[in-house]
Amino acid sequence: MNTAALAKRVLAEFEEMPGMTLNLRQASRLFGLSEDVCRVVLDVLVDSSYLRQTRCGKITLGDRVAA
């Protein structure tokens, strides 16, 4: 699994649709990843502030801008 490549692809989708908010199951299905792999990718992006997790567990675009 190339986490960096998957993270880049997932981030591109969120940047393309800035209002998109997904839970883990929805993200997994949308990106064609297992929930375990999707969780790792989302965690990397949340930890780096490209994405953020809301209080109710949804994932949305964060404040950091990709270069």
In the chain, domain spans = 3-61
pLDDT interval class at 66 (50, 70, 90): low
Q: Of the CATH numbers 3.40.50.970, 3.40.50.300, 1.20.1740.10, 1.10.10.10, which one belongs to the domain with range 3-61?
A: 1.10.10.10
The owner of tokens 């953020």 is: 52
pLDDT in tens, 3-59: 999 999 999 999 999 899 999 999 999 999 999 999 999 999 999 999 999 999 999
CA distance 59 to 16: 15
Question: Measured between alpha carbons, how far is residue 3 from residues 19, 37, 55 in Å?
Answer: 24, 9, 25
Check if the beta carbon of residue 34 is closer than 8 Å to that of residue 6.
Answer: no
